[in-house]
Structure 1
Amino acid sequence: MKRKRFILLLALVVMATTFSDVRSYAAHWGLSGDVGVHDPSIIKEGNSWYVFSTGEGLQVLRSDNGTDFYRVPQIFLSAPSWWKTYVPKQEPMDVWAPDVKAYNGKVWLYYSISTFTKNTSAIGLVSASSVGAGNWKDEGVVISTNGTQNYNAIDPELVIDAKGDPWLAFGSFWTGLKLTKLDKNTMKPTGSLYSIAQRTVNDGAIEAPSITYRGGYYYLFASIDSCCSGVNSTYKIIYGRSKNITGPYVDKNGVSLMNNGGTILDSGNARWKGPGGQDVYDANLIVRHAYDAEDEGKPKLLISDLIWDSGGWPSY
């Protein structure tokens, strides 16, 4: 229950748009250049920002000042041979929802392959010494589902806990969002699988976990409801927090995210419809896509500073 293909859209969209009107009161970044994305993940390396997103071979944007973006070569020029083993009906080179982070002297890039509305899926991994250096190494499959599990192996999110240990959050629809600890050397799962968020309403629509640690709490951000329908998308960003990375996560009203909880961070506005696919960077920055009602509902990149109140809850 995931995205329609954005391959052609992301390959062709080259747009110059300023986002200063998203909210008049918020610290939103004014962006320009090529900002066509879906499910963005961001990383800064030196003075440059890189945004990885859903699309043919995994799409990549770069900015040398944080505001003006341009497209650079995609990650995969051809499909690794193992993809078809795990997802036989995958559209060629259609790669979803990457997550990029630096850890232990390398850059790790998780991504997913799947087919729309199915949970025959796989999360893969590539690594490099740096984004700028490229030369990505295929680390193979990380976790997969073959249609018989009650969860879906897409939307990966690498999380580093307060002790410096790596975890992987992932999931979409079915029984919701999952979390598993990773081996520091292989960066692949070891140990138990934890459930951290679930919805029993709106067809169980929850996905795109992003977890950040701040002030003694782990904050879980997620997207709920439906994406991928342009201005008719109903995506929203929610959040909750927990003292423990494995949960329980609760929202501002104390409702568990395992029981349809979640405080809404962003449900869109007159121009920007269906915000979601978010990635929180360094606890102080959030990127996501939204559909531009002033440009045929095309998905575009939004970047905002997170503001934290005295109670430790985020807003824009």
Structure 2
Amino acid sequence: MKKVKKISMLFVIVCLLNIQLTASAAFWNVTGEKMIHDPSIIKEGNSWYVFGTGEAGKNGIRVLKSDNGTNWYTTPVIFPTALSWWKTYVPNHETNQWAPDIQYYNGRYWLYYSVSSFGSNTSLIGLLSTHSINSGQWRDDGLVVRSTSSSNFNAIDGDLVIDKDGNPWLSYGSFWSGIKLTRLDKNTMKPTGSVYSIVSRPNIPNNPVEAPSITYKDGYYYLFVSFDRCCQGVNSTYKIAYGRSKNITGPYLDKNGVSMMNGGGTILDAGNDRWKGPGHQDVYNNNVIVRHAYDAENNGLPTLLINDLNWDSQGWPTY
């Protein structure tokens, strides 16, 4: 009897430990270099990479690397020198490049990035590609889409998504008239055909929505966006919202059935006492979500946060 009780107690302890490990594993314990803004994540072989907006006043796109997904270190920036053709479209662009998005498709890694200046919609989205991130050899694939001061949209925050039939699309946008979506040519990975509007907050001044990220799962396209304002340290009001649609072009509805073209969006993460203004999220492989937040315990430093992404019984995303 005593032996049975000991075995039973041991079983209970093991179960409790498993529950604890499962719960704690949802939030990745990121160490090493954690400073990042507007992160996009991908894995090549055994290595993880996060691409993010470059440091203010410095050239380039910031790149972090990890050999295990938790301990991160810096690698050389992309664009240590600005490309000359950017000034043709954005004469007064910032030194650093913004909001990269990295995806693998048809045997290459495609990196979309933004060139702009804060508060302006004279902007462009450019494209690089490579057969291997680790090689460090990037091909300049040029201009993808641009906007001007007379445009009703802002050509930044590009996000590549592959639909259920294997076709590439690009979503993008920040403030102005909201989030756009266009199909891409499979060979050039540049726009072809119509531009669709998929998110707008018409009743909120300046339409504060940006950073789209779309993923397909079990018959639905899930659209994640960032509401409100980033880039103000611990005073940032950024938050992550989402909706879903049977069709990639929408309409995207939140959990209450409200269209994201009419201000809808269910909040996934609005931050907490330490992590302020979480946003500019990127979903990888339907089970990992990355974003930045401002660390109230470290002078508001924009910090890399990674979580396992889970899905509830109704098919909605959750941490």
| TM-score exceeds 0.5 | yes
Q: CA RMSD in A?
A: 0.9
Paired position in structure 2 for 1:249: 252
Paired position in structure 2 for 1:313: 316
1:72, distance to aligned residue in structure 2 (A):
0.1
Task: String of CA shifts for 1:119-147, please: whole Å, max 9, x gaps.
Answer: 00000000101111121010101000111
Task: String of CA shifts for 1:286-314, please: whole Å, max 9, x gaps.
Answer: 00000000000000000001110110001
1:138 aligned partner, one-letter code: D
Paired position in structure 2 for 1:58: 61
CA distance in 2, matches of 1:208, 1:255: 20
Distance 1:265 1:26, change over 3 A: farther
1:27 aligned partner, one-letter code: A
CA distance in 1, matches of 2:295, 2:309: 22
Bigger drift between 243-252 and 195-204 goes to 195-204
Do residues 269 (structure 1) and 269 (structure 2) align? Answer: no
Aligned pair partner of 1:238 in 218, 238, 241: 241
TM-score (normalizing by structure 2)? 0.90
Number of residue pairs aligned between Structure 1 and Structure 2? 292
Paired position in structure 1 for 2:148: 146
Contact 1:202 1:225 in 2 (8 A): no
1:25, distance to aligned residue in structure 2 (A):
6.7
1:315 aligned partner, one-letter code: T
Paired position in structure 1 for 2:44: 45
Do residues 161 (structure 1) and 160 (structure 2) align? Answer: no
Show the 5 A alignment for 1:216-231: 216-231=219-234
Aligned pair partner of 1:213 in 212, 216, 220: 216
CA distance in 2, matches of 1:122, 1:108: 16
Show the 5 A alignment for 1:195-210: 195-200=197-202, 201-210=204-213
TM-score (normalizing by structure 1)? 0.91
Do residues 171 (structure 1) and 165 (structure 2) align? Answer: no
Paired position in structure 1 for 2:6: none
CA distance in 1, matches of 2:25, 2:276: 17
CA distance in 2, matches of 1:81, 1:187: 22
Paired position in structure 2 for 1:131: 133
CA distance in 2, matches of 1:265, 1:286: 11
Paired position in structure 1 for 2:3: none
2:240 aligned partner, one-letter code: I
CA distance in 2, matches of 1:256, 1:26: 33
Which protein has the bigger helix share? 2
5+ residue gaps, structure 1: 1-23
Task: String of CA shifts for 1:213-268, please: whole Å, max 9, x gaps.
Answer: 00100000000000000000000000000000000000000000000000000000
Do residues 89 (structure 1) and 80 (structure 2) align? Answer: no
1:49 aligned partner, one-letter code: W
Distance 1:184 1:265, change over 3 A: same
1:202, distance to aligned residue in structure 2 (A):
4.0
CA distance in 2, matches of 1:49, 1:96: 20
Aligned pair partner of 1:258 in 240, 244, 261: 261
CA distance in 1, matches of 2:140, 2:123: 17
Task: String of CA shifts for 1:25-50, please: whole Å, max 9, x gaps.
Answer: 77110010001000000000011000
5+ residue gaps, structure 2: 1-22
1:78 aligned partner, one-letter code: T
Paired position in structure 2 for 1:187: 189
Do residues 304 (structure 1) and 303 (structure 2) align? Answer: no
1:117, distance to aligned residue in structure 2 (A):
0.7
